[in-house]
Amino acid sequence: MKRMVRSLLLLMCGSLLSVSVAAQEKLTGNNEEGYPKEVYTGTIVNTNGRMATIGFTLTLTARTNDEEAGRYLNVLAREGQDDFMKAVHKNNLGFIAATGQTRRDLLVVREAQVNGKRRIIAAFERWQNFWEIRSGNRSLDYPFSIIEIYFDEKGRGTGTFIGLAQVKIEADKKTEQLRLELENFGSFPSKVMGVTRRK
Protein backbone atom coordinates (compact mmCIF):
# COMPACT_ATOMS: atom_id res chain seq x y z
CA MET A 1 0.00 0.00 0.00
CA LYS A 2 1.13 3.53 -0.63
CA ARG A 3 -0.39 6.67 0.82
CA MET A 4 -0.94 9.29 -1.83
CA VAL A 5 -1.23 12.84 -0.46
CA ARG A 6 -1.13 14.82 -3.68
CA SER A 7 -3.14 17.72 -5.02
CA LEU A 8 -4.51 15.68 -7.90
CA LEU A 9 -5.93 13.14 -5.46
CA LEU A 10 -7.41 15.54 -2.93
CA LEU A 11 -10.93 14.68 -3.95
CA MET A 12 -12.67 16.56 -1.20
CA CYS A 13 -10.10 18.87 0.34
CA GLY A 14 -9.15 20.94 -2.69
CA SER A 15 -10.94 19.68 -5.75
CA LEU A 16 -14.20 18.82 -4.07
CA LEU A 17 -14.50 22.22 -2.43
CA SER A 18 -13.35 24.46 -5.25
CA VAL A 19 -14.89 24.94 -8.66
CA SER A 20 -14.53 27.44 -11.45
CA VAL A 21 -16.80 30.49 -11.61
CA ALA A 22 -18.35 29.15 -14.81
CA ALA A 23 -19.09 25.84 -13.16
CA GLN A 24 -20.54 27.53 -10.06
CA GLU A 25 -23.03 29.40 -12.21
CA LYS A 26 -24.38 26.06 -13.46
CA LEU A 27 -24.29 24.01 -10.26
CA THR A 28 -27.66 22.57 -9.32
CA GLY A 29 -26.77 19.54 -7.21
CA ASN A 30 -27.63 15.92 -7.99
CA ASN A 31 -29.72 16.43 -11.09
CA GLU A 32 -29.30 17.06 -14.77
CA GLU A 33 -30.69 20.60 -14.84
CA GLY A 34 -28.07 23.06 -16.09
CA TYR A 35 -25.70 20.36 -17.32
CA PRO A 36 -25.75 18.89 -20.78
CA LYS A 37 -25.07 15.18 -20.90
CA GLU A 38 -21.43 14.49 -21.76
CA VAL A 39 -20.07 11.13 -22.90
CA TYR A 40 -16.35 10.38 -23.09
CA THR A 41 -14.35 7.32 -24.05
CA GLY A 42 -10.77 6.54 -23.17
CA THR A 43 -8.27 3.96 -21.99
CA ILE A 44 -6.94 3.10 -18.53
CA VAL A 45 -3.32 1.90 -18.67
CA ASN A 46 -2.09 -0.10 -15.66
CA THR A 47 1.69 0.11 -15.39
CA ASN A 48 1.98 -1.83 -12.10
CA GLY A 49 3.74 -5.04 -13.10
CA ARG A 50 2.82 -6.23 -16.57
CA MET A 51 1.20 -3.44 -18.55
CA ALA A 52 -2.53 -3.88 -19.21
CA THR A 53 -5.14 -1.64 -20.81
CA ILE A 54 -8.90 -1.39 -20.46
CA GLY A 55 -11.35 0.79 -22.37
CA PHE A 56 -13.99 2.84 -20.59
CA THR A 57 -16.95 5.12 -21.21
CA LEU A 58 -17.61 8.00 -18.81
CA THR A 59 -21.05 9.63 -18.87
CA LEU A 60 -21.55 12.86 -16.89
CA THR A 61 -25.02 14.23 -16.10
CA ALA A 62 -24.52 16.39 -12.97
CA ARG A 63 -21.97 17.67 -10.44
CA THR A 64 -21.55 17.72 -6.66
CA ASN A 65 -22.19 21.29 -5.49
CA ASP A 66 -20.30 23.12 -2.73
CA GLU A 67 -22.99 22.60 -0.09
CA GLU A 68 -23.03 18.86 -0.66
CA ALA A 69 -19.23 18.71 -0.71
CA GLY A 70 -19.03 20.46 2.65
CA ARG A 71 -21.63 18.11 4.13
CA TYR A 72 -19.75 15.05 2.88
CA LEU A 73 -16.47 16.35 4.33
CA ASN A 74 -18.12 16.81 7.71
CA VAL A 75 -19.47 13.26 7.62
CA LEU A 76 -16.04 11.89 6.73
CA ALA A 77 -14.34 13.91 9.48
CA ARG A 78 -16.87 13.04 12.20
CA GLU A 79 -18.02 9.53 11.31
CA GLY A 80 -15.40 8.03 9.00
CA GLN A 81 -15.31 6.36 5.62
CA ASP A 82 -18.20 3.91 6.13
CA ASP A 83 -20.66 6.70 6.94
CA PHE A 84 -19.26 8.78 4.10
CA MET A 85 -20.07 5.92 1.74
CA LYS A 86 -23.60 5.73 3.16
CA ALA A 87 -24.02 9.47 2.56
CA VAL A 88 -23.08 9.28 -1.13
CA HIS A 89 -23.99 5.74 -2.21
CA LYS A 90 -27.41 6.69 -3.66
CA ASN A 91 -26.04 9.55 -5.76
CA ASN A 92 -26.26 9.22 -9.53
CA LEU A 93 -24.29 11.95 -11.29
CA GLY A 94 -23.64 9.82 -14.34
CA PHE A 95 -21.83 6.52 -14.69
CA ILE A 96 -18.65 4.80 -15.79
CA ALA A 97 -18.55 1.56 -17.74
CA ALA A 98 -15.36 -0.38 -18.42
CA THR A 99 -14.73 -3.35 -20.69
CA GLY A 100 -15.72 -6.55 -18.90
CA GLN A 101 -17.18 -4.75 -15.87
CA THR A 102 -20.68 -3.72 -14.80
CA ARG A 103 -21.32 0.00 -14.93
CA ARG A 104 -20.98 2.07 -11.77
CA ASP A 105 -22.89 5.21 -10.82
CA LEU A 106 -20.77 8.29 -10.15
CA LEU A 107 -21.14 9.26 -6.48
CA VAL A 108 -19.09 12.47 -6.43
CA VAL A 109 -18.19 14.62 -9.43
CA ARG A 110 -16.29 17.91 -9.29
CA GLU A 111 -15.22 20.23 -12.08
CA ALA A 112 -12.68 23.05 -12.01
CA GLN A 113 -10.28 25.07 -14.13
CA VAL A 114 -6.65 24.34 -13.14
CA ASN A 115 -3.82 26.22 -14.87
CA GLY A 116 -6.11 26.96 -17.79
CA LYS A 117 -7.23 23.35 -18.21
CA ARG A 118 -10.61 21.86 -17.46
CA ARG A 119 -10.41 19.16 -14.80
CA ILE A 120 -13.01 16.53 -13.95
CA ILE A 121 -12.67 14.31 -10.87
CA ALA A 122 -15.21 11.55 -10.22
CA ALA A 123 -15.48 8.94 -7.48
CA PHE A 124 -17.51 5.74 -7.58
CA GLU A 125 -17.87 2.45 -5.74
CA ARG A 126 -15.15 0.27 -7.14
CA TRP A 127 -15.43 -3.05 -8.90
CA GLN A 128 -14.87 -6.04 -6.61
CA ASN A 129 -13.97 -9.64 -7.34
CA PHE A 130 -15.91 -12.57 -5.92
CA TRP A 131 -12.78 -14.05 -4.35
CA GLU A 132 -11.96 -10.94 -2.31
CA ILE A 133 -15.54 -10.65 -1.01
CA ARG A 134 -15.58 -14.33 -0.07
CA SER A 135 -12.18 -14.25 1.63
CA GLY A 136 -12.70 -10.92 3.41
CA ASN A 137 -9.50 -9.57 1.88
CA ARG A 138 -8.03 -6.36 3.31
CA SER A 139 -8.65 -4.72 -0.05
CA LEU A 140 -12.31 -4.42 1.01
CA ASP A 141 -11.18 -1.49 3.19
CA TYR A 142 -10.56 0.40 -0.08
CA PRO A 143 -14.11 0.84 -1.45
CA PHE A 144 -13.66 3.71 -3.91
CA SER A 145 -12.24 4.23 -7.38
CA ILE A 146 -11.28 7.73 -8.49
CA ILE A 147 -10.72 9.03 -11.99
CA GLU A 148 -9.21 12.42 -12.77
CA ILE A 149 -9.05 13.86 -16.27
CA TYR A 150 -7.43 17.06 -17.54
CA PHE A 151 -8.64 18.36 -20.91
CA ASP A 152 -6.54 20.43 -23.30
CA GLU A 153 -7.80 23.26 -25.49
CA LYS A 154 -8.90 20.75 -28.14
CA GLY A 155 -10.97 18.76 -25.64
CA ARG A 156 -8.61 15.77 -25.49
CA GLY A 157 -8.02 14.32 -22.05
CA THR A 158 -5.37 12.52 -20.02
CA GLY A 159 -5.18 11.83 -16.33
CA THR A 160 -5.00 9.36 -13.47
CA PHE A 161 -7.05 6.42 -12.23
CA ILE A 162 -6.92 4.89 -8.74
CA GLY A 163 -8.67 1.54 -8.69
CA LEU A 164 -8.68 0.90 -4.92
CA ALA A 165 -8.83 3.99 -2.75
CA GLN A 166 -9.44 4.67 0.93
CA VAL A 167 -10.24 8.19 2.18
CA LYS A 168 -9.84 9.69 5.63
CA ILE A 169 -9.40 13.00 7.44
CA GLU A 170 -6.25 13.30 9.56
CA ALA A 171 -4.41 16.09 11.38
CA ASP A 172 -1.10 17.25 9.94
CA LYS A 173 1.66 16.45 12.47
CA LYS A 174 3.38 19.82 11.99
CA THR A 175 0.50 22.26 11.51
CA GLU A 176 -2.27 20.25 13.24
CA GLN A 177 -4.59 21.28 10.40
CA LEU A 178 -7.06 18.71 9.17
CA ARG A 179 -6.43 17.38 5.69
CA LEU A 180 -7.90 14.71 3.50
CA GLU A 181 -5.63 11.74 2.86
CA LEU A 182 -6.13 9.17 0.19
CA GLU A 183 -4.46 5.79 0.45
CA ASN A 184 -3.99 3.73 -2.68
CA PHE A 185 -4.02 -0.07 -2.34
CA GLY A 186 -1.15 -0.67 -4.72
CA SER A 187 2.08 0.87 -5.91
CA PHE A 188 1.06 3.66 -8.27
CA PRO A 189 -2.11 5.01 -9.87
CA SER A 190 -2.88 3.96 -13.43
CA LYS A 191 -2.77 6.37 -16.36
CA VAL A 192 -5.82 7.61 -18.23
CA MET A 193 -5.14 8.24 -21.91
CA GLY A 194 -6.85 9.06 -25.18
CA VAL A 195 -10.00 10.58 -23.69
CA THR A 196 -12.31 12.07 -26.32
CA ARG A 197 -15.88 13.32 -26.24
CA ARG A 198 -18.53 11.28 -28.06
CA LYS A 199 -21.68 13.30 -27.20
Percentage of the chain exceeding pLDDT 90? 48
- What range defines the domain where residue 156 resides? 2-197
In this prediction, residues 62-66 reach a mean pLDDT of: 93
- Specify which residues 44 forms β-bridges with: 54, 192
Cα 74–Cα 127–Cα 105 angle in degrees, nearest 5 = 60
The pLDDT, as a whole number, for residue 120 is 96
pLDDT winner (highest mean) among 6-10, 44-48, 167-171: 44-48
Q: Give the confidence band of 187 by pLDDT, cuts at 50, 70, 90.
A: low
pLDDT, mean of residues 191-198: 96
Q: List the end-to-end C-alpha distance of the chain, in Å, as a whole number.
A: 37
Q: With bands split at pLDDT 50, 70 and 90, how would you rate the model's confidence at 180?
A: confident
Instruction: Compute the distance between CA of residue 60 and CA of residue 48 in angstroms, rounded to an integer.
Output: 28
Torsion sign across C-alpha atoms 133, 74, 95, 109: negative
Q: Model confidence at 82, in pLDDT bands (50, 70, 90)? A: very high
Q: How many domains does the chain have?
A: 1
Residue count of the chain, please give it.
199
- Rounded to whole angstroms, the Cα distance separating 11 from 135 reads 29
DSSP 133-173: HHHT-GGGG--EEEEEEEE-TTS-EEEEEEEEEEEEEEE-T
Q: Which of 164, 152, 66, 163 is nearest to 109 (CA)?
A: 66
Question: How buried is 2 (Cβ within 10 angstroms: 0-12 exposed, 13-18 middle, 19+ buried)?
Answer: exposed
pLDDT at 110: 94
